[in-house]
Amino acid sequence: MDINLKVLTLNCWGIPYVSRNRVQRMRAIADQLLSGDYDIVCFQEVWSAKDYELIKNQILNILPYSHYFYSGVLGSGICLFTKFPIQDVIFHKWSLNGYAHKIHHGDWFGGKGVGLCRLKVNDANINVYVAHLHAEYNPQHDEYSAHRVLQAFDMAQFIRMTERGADAVILGGDLNTSPNDLAYRIICGVAGLADACSTINNDIGTNECANNSYTPQRVARKFPQGKRIDHILYLGSQNYKVEVISCQQPFPKRIPNKNFSYSDHEAVVAELKITKGFYQTIECDVRTEIKEALSICEASLKNVRRQRIWYVIANIILIVPLMYSMGIDSSFTTLGYLIGLNILRLVITAVLCYSIFMSTIWSSVEQNALKAGNLAMEVHLLQLNNNINNKNSKPEDS
């Protein structure tokens, strides 16, 4: 029996006290789900448990099964709603995910990662992955490129190692990477995934689109089509084939009777047809991509070591005035001077504690995460080289 699935993914931009029109938009998103006849819904940036419960209760009659992946300080932001029973769940958190001291970016506090729900659809076991990779805040100077590349490889490996036994694989999420980017090529190449939109040549923009109310005008004028960073990827198996029927943006440009969009991202929906039969896996030679990723991570590792040296120097510089202030005799100073001196001590002490933390604990955590990622990619690259060499040697042996 054929299985027809309507899969939707959307970054809901649901940051409490920050995202504009959040409550109204969450209700409107739930209303759209009620009218869309979706089978699987993958959401990102649902940072408030109240928003998750609101959507869950509103769509309970049509999408009765759901799961929220709790993680980090805020709660990962990713969740799944579906018509089908959820058999198992697991969450894999990124070991490298931004910086705790960069509060304005917030990725670290979300505890981002990839969540897996195994669904039972008729007789088929389908693995549905929901993910949200680290954002790119400055394309000209992307300080998180190594983080995102490692997350991409980590997720691809996670999918490879958990998809055994599944009849089909679906990945939906805000991957913060365009089809031409390195992270995207690693995800598809290492995990063997195909892109629903690319399969039918529908390269629709999903973020910073000119028709979105939350896109800044200067960005809209420069790139009116926006960037496609929200994706639905898929993979079949030896028992089931997967065919893409359509891939499009299902939501209206504005919420009815409102002058704003459903999110700062556009929703994407793909209609997939899953039938019994052998699925021919796409084989990609990703050795070049892995080598490029290794060079990015090695450069990042050198940068972390340089930063550690500067933090150590800052520690030494800050200790000197702090120690000197301890020797000042309070009997020869005025009350106002003492208050100012104590405030200065507090500021120097706070900066010193931060600098010590960054030069010791945080530096070690980031270096170890980069080293672990490097080693994993080197192992995979070695295996790829061995596979290529074995294939090339077979005609000679015969």
Q: Which residues are catalytic?
A: 265
Cα atoms in the 13 Å half-sphere on the side-chain side of 384: 17
Q: Is 145 left (phi over 0), alpha (psi -120 to 50) or beta?
A: alpha
**With helix as H, strand as E and coil as C, how does the chain read?**
CCEEEEEEEEEEEECCCCCCCHHHHHHHHHHHHHHHCCCEEEEEEECCHHHHHHHHHHCCCCCCEEEECCCCCCCCCCEEEECCCEEEEEEEECCCCCCCCCCCCCHHHHCCEEEEEEEEECCEEEEEEEEECCCCCCCCCCCCHHHHHHHHHHHHHHHHHHCCCCCEEEEEEECCCCCCCHHHHHHHHHHCCEEHHHHCCCCCCCECCCCCCCCCHHHHHHCCCCECCEEEEEECCCCEEEEEEEEECCCCCCCCCCCCCCCCECCEEEEEEEEECCCCCCCCCCHHHHHHHHHHHHHHHHHHHHHHHHHHHHHHHHHHHHHHHHCCCHHHCCHHHHHHHHHHHHHHHHHHHHHHHHHHHHHHHHHHHHHHHHHHHHHHHHHHHHHHHHHHHHHHHC
Give, in degrees to the nearest 5, the angle at Cα 69 between 65 and 73: 150
Residue type, 155: M
| Alpha-carbon span 152 to 94, nearest angstrom | 10
Is 264:164 a contact under the CB 8 Å cutoff?
no
**Tokens matching residue 252:** 């209206």
Residue type, 49: A
| Alpha-carbon span 324 to 232, nearest angstrom | 60
